[in-house]
Structure 1
Amino acid sequence: MAAIASLQAIHLKSGRRGSIRCGIAEPSGEPAPVGQKTRYNDGLAERVFMGLFARKMDKFGGSKKKNEIKEKGLWDYDYESFVEVSKRVMQGRNRSQQQEVVREVLLSMLPPGAPEQFRKLFPPTKWAAEFNAALTVPFFHWLVGPSQVIEVEVNGVKQRSGVRIKKCRYLESSGCVGMCVNMCKIPTQDFFTNEFGLPLTMNPNFDDMSCEMIYGQVPPSFEDDPATKQPCLADICSIANPSSPICPKLQA
């Protein structure tokens, strides 16, 4: 998912400017407290972007309404549609297959040669990590909600290449640990680290639904990652298995 910000970064370096933002409809202007769902006001640009993603993913989702989907404009989709497509993609696939679908979708949305261009523009340096962290805040807003750049330590060096997502919209809307890990965290880490050559580690907090992204930090293996050992969020996940110590979608 997060590689879309990289596409925007490439466009910025080419002289094209713009941003993709959505507004929180809560009176406080902040995400709703844990246990309550945050309300958003999505504009036309955000709806188009959600629709673009949903249509790309839907060919993997086993939908029986292909003709109906083709007739809909990109602006006819909303965030819930995007999440529902993600859920359909999960069905009948193991974790590796789910992650591969996201990788294919991300590659299909980038122009030819984009990974190579990204590697040239953003070699794995402190500057590149901090620059991508700064880009994440405006360009990820539609996908994960509000976030802010924070200082982190990477290989003993303090740098502002961290991003704290206050309350992840994707996790909040799906309520699924497996979707968070298999459809966002792991494929995004892998895409940045292996396709773009810029290491990225994402640390979701399933208690308050926040998430920390650390550019420049090599992610742990699947087996050593605490996020892969999480139980279902039984109170909010419609497909949860409360009796399982680990979310079934995280198991092979």
Structure 2
Amino acid sequence: MSNREKKEYKDNWIDRLFIALFSRKMAKALGTKTRLRGYDGFVDLSKQIMTGRNPQQQQELVEKVLKSLIPPCVVFLIRTFFPPSKWVCEFNATFATILFEWLVGKSEVREVEIVGENGEIRRQKSGVYIHKCRYLEASGCVAMCVNMCKLPTQKFFTEYLRIPLTMTPNFEDFSCEMVFGKSPPPFTSEAVYNQPCLQDTCSQAVVSHPPRPCSKIRVV
């Protein structure tokens, strides 16, 4: 199977439950619904969030959805009693591989290097390697990956839950690396900031030399 061949997923009842929960929260934030069911409906709602909104507005709406999933009292407990220690970051990595398989597909925990505040380097199993992101595969869109997943998720964990998270998508093979405990760098300094649209999957991709960065990930 090539990297661009779509994988067939068979969602179990737990997967369908999470898909329905997230879809319902997204529909409520949008004030609209989707005619599609299951994961297709989830992706369709994501596309609706993008319609008529600039990158910043898209990210803010996703942040609103993410915040609605966790009660404020739980957020308080996380901030107060679970600082981003090695154990907390490793727990989040393990938890992510279990909880978000319905969203991104198969993933595994990996050991990573984290640079501490005083410059010391420590190794910990707080990295998550997503073999082939289901969401990116289904959307085929750089902007959806960045505005609907990477940036709002990083901000949600780093600023809202106060557990640093950096996500690095690979648009060649659709894999992605998540590192809990690592603060995200400025977006403009990342390679993804200059990522062109995906020629094979994006209907709005423009053929140019050199390739132009995707216009929908930059706030004008």
TM-score norm. by structure 1 comes to 0.79
Where does residue 248 of structure 1 map in the other structure? 215
Where does residue 97 of structure 1 map in the other structure? 57
2:197 is matched with which residue: 222, 225, 232?
232
Where does residue 40 of structure 1 map in the other structure? 9
- Match of 1:238, SS state, is coil
Preserved CA contact (<8 Å) 1:134 1:149? yes
Where does residue 177 of structure 1 map in the other structure? 142
- Match of 2:108, SS state, is strand
Preserved CA contact (<8 Å) 1:147 1:166? yes
Instruction: Provide the rounded CA distance (Å) in 1 between the counterparts of 2:43 and 2:140.
Output: 10
C-alpha deviation, 1:248, in angstroms = 1.4
Runs of 4+ in 1 over 6 A off after TM superposition: none
Which runs of 5 or more structure 2 residues have no equivalent in the other structure?
A: 116-120
1:78 counterpart = 2:43: no
Preserved CA contact (<8 Å) 1:61 1:86? no
C-alpha deviation, 1:135, in angstroms = 1.0
Preserved CA contact (<8 Å) 1:199 1:216? yes
Instruction: Provide the rounded CA distance (Å) in 1 between the counterparts of 2:185 and 2:16.
Output: 34
- Match of 2:17, SS state, is helix
Q: How many matched pairs?
A: 212
Where does residue 223 of structure 1 map in the other structure? 188
- Tell me the amino acid that sits aligned with residue 68 of structure 2: S
- Match of 1:152, SS state, is strand
Where does residue 26 of structure 2 map in the other structure? 57
C-alpha deviation, 1:53, in angstroms = 1.3
Cα offsets for 1:217-240 (capped at 9, x unmatched): 010112112212100002112343
Quick check: 159-168 or 45-54, which moved more? Answer: 45-54
Preserved CA contact (<8 Å) 2:84 2:164? yes
C-alpha deviation, 1:59, in angstroms = 4.0
Q: CA RMSD in A?
A: 1.8
Instruction: Provide the rounded CA distance (Å) in 2 between the counterparts of 1:34 and 1:102.
Output: 28
- Tell me the amino acid that sits aligned with residue 101 of structure 2: H
